[in-house]
Amino acid sequence: MNRFFAALCLLSLMTTTAKSDVSFWYQDGNWTVWNEKAKCKAVNRPVIETSHAPYMSFWFVYDLANPGVAIDTYFWPGVFVEGTKFNVDLLVSYGEEQITVPASAGLDFALRTERPLSQAEIDLLVKQNLLIVKPENSSVSLAVDAVKIPIILQQLQVCVDVLSRATQKPD
């Protein structure tokens, strides 16, 4: 049923010609994928929760202006000093590997990676059951149910494809 609904949404989006009319929405369990203007986002918690209190949530963000999958992670207020730069470790459950990405605190509770994930890093993420996000030299961490990450990243790419087509100028 979810795939049928996603296909139906995709079909309706493909017929849209105006950029402002384009919208994408996909939900699978707690994960949600959607677009905002020229960005596609995916979050591991229901959007209704994160729109009011994004705390303790993990996001994939694809900005058409800066292609690639970046990560936003929201912790509790007051955990970081705004503007601080450091590494964030993504501790993976499959094997003993980890992904380390430079990040900065945009708010006292929010991190954004400073570069998109590489294809090798994405390939490692899609194999996970559990992902632990731990900022360098911090006592806080966030556990993310990663079982659906392969599906979510596929849907994020569908969202990006739809937005890319909608922003192209007609011949």
13 pLDDT higher than 60: no
Tell me the domain boundaries of the chain.
Answer: 2-85+104-113+147-167
Instruction: Report pLDDT digits (tens) over 148-165.
Output: 999 999 999 999 999 999
Q: Any long-range contacts for 152-155 (C-beta under 8 Å, 24+ apart)?
A: 152/28, 152/31, 152/33, 152/42, 152/60, 153/42, 153/60, 153/69, 153/122, 153/125, 153/126, 155/6, 155/26, 155/28, 155/33, 155/42
Q: Kindly report the pTM of this predicted structure.
A: 0.83
* The CA-based dihedral angle spanning residues 14, 118, 84, 45, taken in that order and rounded to the nearest 10 degrees: 50
Q: To the nearest whole percent, how much of the chain has pLDDT over 70?
A: 85
